[in-house]
Amino acid sequence: MNTPVRVRIAPSPTGNLHIGTARTALFNYLFAHHHGGKMILRIEDTDTQRSQAAYTENLLAGLQGLGLNWDEGPGVEGPYAPYFQSERGELYRQALEILIAKGAVYPCFCTEAELQAERQAAETAGVTYVYSGKWRDADPVEVQQRLAAGESHVWRLKVPYKEVVINDLIRGEIRIHTQVIGDFIIAKGDKSSLYNFAVVVDDIHMQITHVLRGEDHISNTPKQILIYEAFEAPLPEFGHMAMILAPDRSKLSKRHGATSLAAYLQMGYLPAALINYLALLGWSPPEGQEKLSLTEMIQLFDIHKVNTSGAVFDVEKLRWLNSTYVRELSPEQLLEALEPYFVAMDRIASGYERDWLLQVVALVQEKLTLLTDFFKEADFLLDDELAYHPELVDKAFAMASAEDVLTRFRAHATTADWTPEGVHQILETLKSEVSYKMKEIMWPLRAALTGRVAGADLHRSIWLLGREKVCNRVDQALLHLKG
């Protein structure tokens, strides 16, 4: 591409960062960086009733947390600031004056009652409603008189009668005739901009070369092209991505589970796994590759390989992918990733001896799917107190071997060397002393020390618990057995 690529992601801060918006941002990021271009972040916050600063912070933090850092935008000032639409009103008014001077727009004084009557007539006739254009060729003198009198009005674009062609990078050629569009409103009477007009003015001003967004914007694209043409400005290339779907192939919504990026991070998904999975929702990497780093995605990304059909959000596949990322981390990396969750769960990681905590992380790492699973798998090590839940321990404690095994183990634990080797020797000695099956030995021991009958390696678990805690828990279990 000869012209430097400039794409933009333009979310509205009317809610937390949505999975779909994050996917759109990712595809823009990959496209821009694949072509050595730039991604611009623009906040479309003109909906003053629904826009909130907290949502803006959530959007910014979410994108940064995923590693999708923008090249221009809030906090990264560039030559086309400001990057909040609410601060760009004067630019929109100046742009509207240009179109007024060119005769490309006109004021419409139709009342809501008049417009409703037009809609009703179209409905009765069984045709799609399109504004009649009543004020398009009105008497200039009357128009000026009404404007001078401050009569309520809006500004409409003079739409030519023609076919608009969209050469979509993803979907191919799309043709829409303006006879189903009509002269649409681009600004209010006070010359404040409506959505389609502001978007085009911003994209022209910021020299956006490619507009990559969801298919729900396809209906906006012909209107925006007509505004570009009214300014005689070069068109960007458009690409419309299919929606992310729920398992029932309906639009993904809260009724199907979490839809915000923050919710998935809170559940314990790694940013790298989320990014990887989002890339697979609608894009087919070469050779069926599924596990890709952000760098690899940038190298391989091809906008023409983005699918035209909706991608189903499969939580189980995301969980699987996350588990592979978790298991590939070093214990140090995993502990660092766990730090925010210690805080969220009212624990303090620094309250544990670091080398011991790293051993705990390494012990349970293979059992983790989500980061938050760490606190379920390692709770018996992190907590001083251990509660016995009947559904988890009753079968083990009901074994005929339970009291004998625990009593013998307690005696050996009191005097053995407390090293991994020493713990191993305790268990070997115990096995040599009794004729019980392995399950009859290990189940009561694990239940007494961890509160369940399955989990991480028992030898290392015993060693990490420490002699004092082990002896106390065996005593607790023996009391529990005696009722």
- The CATH code that applies to domain 390-482 is 1.10.10.350
237-241 β-sheet, strand order: 38-41, 6-9, 210-214, 237-241
Active site residue 367: no
7-35: burial string, b at 16+ Cβ within 10 Å, e else: bbbbbbbebbbbbbbbbbbbbbbbbbbbb
What Rg value do the Cα atoms of the chain yield, rounded? 32
In the chain, where are the structural domains located?
6-85+244-312, 88-241, 329-382, 390-482
Q: Low-confidence residues of the chain, pLDDT below 50?
A: none
- At 257 the pLDDT is 63
Class of CATH domain 6-85+244-312: alpha beta
The H or E element that residue 472 is part of is: helix 467-482
Q: Which of 458, 451, 439, 457 is nearest to 476 (CA)?
A: 451
Is residue 408 within 8 Å of 430, Cβ to Cβ? yes
| Lookup: tokens for 190 | 């006070």
Return the axis-axis angle of helices 271-280 and 315-328, rounded to nearest 10°. Answer: 140
Q: Are strands 210-214 and 163-168 parallel, antiparallel or unpaired?
A: unpaired
The H or E element that residue 245 is part of is: strand 244-245
Alpha carbon distance 282, 294 (integer Å)? 16
Phi, then psi, of 105 in degrees rounded to 5 = -130, 165
Alpha carbon distance 32, 456 (integer Å)? 45
| Lookup: tokens for 152 | 């309520």
Sign of the torsion angle spanned by Cα atoms 111, 116, 121, 126: positive
Alpha carbon distance 282, 221 (integer Å)? 21
pLDDT in tens, 270-304: 999 999 999 999 998 988 889 999 999 999 999 99
* CA–centroid distance for 166 within its chain: 29
- At 255 the pLDDT is 67
Question: What single string gives the DSSP state of each residue in 266-305?
Answer: HHT--HHHHHHHHHHSSB--GGG-----HHHHHHH--GGG
Is residue 242 within 8 Å of 216, Cβ to Cβ? no
**Domain 6-85+244-312 matches domain 390-482 at the CATH topology level:** no
What is the second-level CATH architecture of the domain 88-241? 3-Layer(aba) Sandwich (3.40)
Task: Return the amino acid letter for 135.
Answer: W
Alpha carbon distance 147, 190 (integer Å)? 11
Q: Could you give the residue ranges of the DSSP H alpha helices within 416-451? A: 420-433, 438-450
Q: Which of 444, 443, 424, 450 is nearest to 364 (CA)?
A: 450
Is residue 40 within 8 Å of 206, Cβ to Cβ? yes
- At 346 the pLDDT is 79
- At 15 the pLDDT is 92
List 191, 254, 291, 431, catalytic entry: 254
408-422: burial string, b at 16+ Cβ within 10 Å, e else: bbbebbeebeeeeeb
Alpha carbon distance 308, 288 (integer Å)? 18
Entry pTM: 0.91
- At 42 the pLDDT is 98
Sign of the torsion angle spanned by Cα atoms 248, 249, 251, 256: positive
Cα atoms in the Cβ-side hemisphere of radius 13 Å centred on 16: 12
